[in-house]
Amino acid sequence: MGQGCFEMRLPSKTLEKKLLQSGYNQVIGVDEVGMGCLAGPVVVCAVMLGKQFFAKSHKKLVGIRDSKLLSANQRETLATELRKTSGFHYQLAYCYPKTIDRLNIYQASRLAMKRAVSSLANSKSQILNTKQTQSSKSNSLKPLNFDIVSDLDIRNLDFRTIVLVDGNKKIPKLDLPQLTITGGDRKVFSIACASIIAKVHRDRMMTNYAIKYPDYGFEKHKGYGTKFHQVALTNFGPTPIHRRSFRLEY
């Protein structure tokens, strides 16, 4: 019974509010999706929230939780609400299979995290000073592909930002204070938001790949190693978006 009650609890805003009250100006929550897939990129989302965001109640966001606990329709609805919410800003970044195979999936995901966080932190002034138009209500920057984007310098920023990372290891070589939270996507609001945005974005990418590679069912399993996916690999072999570091018998 205790475990069931824990599973139903919604992520809390308590940590973010305490950090902002302690002197930080911005909190960035970061999460990834696609770590255990056989195909497709690993996608990272970094979400930046400040006092402006937490000053409101956001009744339409009460269902925010770890993306894995939501249906596809629930994720889409919440992602749409998040994108149009004042004070909500995010950055997507990803690594493609060739980079994953070269670096390994863990290192690729951490580097994508660094890229997303650094870009979001660097863009604070631009984000907050740019008037939003009807066509740019997403409050998002263009997704970053780690394969082609150079390093970003965040050492000279004049505001206090702390990064909340899902998991038990910090993002390497990131010149910002960090807190790691095991199971953070189920406990911390900003990380749960990041998990939803990342999942929705990656699912759309995999659905688009299904059009190009119709025999693999990417629109259904999104690149994970289901039985259908493994049979398709046996019958048709790997596509350019398959990760060779997760090689099966093909």
Residue 9 three-state SS: coil
For 110-168, the DSSP string reads HHHHHHHHHHHHHTHHHHHHSPP-GGGTT-BPPPEETTTPPP---TT--S-EEEEEESS
Give residue 60's domain range: 2-246
Q: What is the pLDDT of residues 20-44, one digit of tens each?
A: 999 999 999 999 999 999 999 999 9
DSSP category for residue 34: -
CATH number of domain containing 140 = 3.30.420.10
- Which distant-in-sequence residues (6+ apart) come within 8 Å of 171 by Cβ? 30, 110, 113, 114, 117, 163, 165, 178
Residue-averaged pLDDT of the chain? 85
Q: What is the pLDDT of residues 112-135, one digit of tens each?
A: 999 999 999 887 644 443 333 333
Give the pLDDT of residue 240.
96
Give the pLDDT of residue 22.
94
Q: Give the count of domains, the chain.
A: 1
Contact indicator for 26, 177 with CB cutoff of 8 Å:
no
Question: What is the distance between the alpha carbons of residues 242 and 222, in angstroms, rounded to a whole number?
Answer: 12
Give the pLDDT of residue 203.
98
Q: Which carries the bigger pLDDT value, residue 109 or residue 145?
A: 109
Residue 95 dihedral angles phi and psi, to the nearest 5°: -120, 135
Contact indicator for 42, 205 with CB cutoff of 8 Å:
no
Q: What is the pLDDT of residues 59-92, one digit of tens each?
A: 999 999 999 999 999 999 999 999 999 999 999 9
Question: What is the distance between the alpha carbons of residues 40 and 223, in angstroms, rounded to a whole number?
Answer: 6
Which tokens is 119 given? 């870009």
Q: What is the pLDDT of residues 214-231, one digit of tens each?
A: 999 999 999 999 999 999
- Which distant-in-sequence residues (6+ apart) come within 8 Å of 168 by Cβ? 180, 182
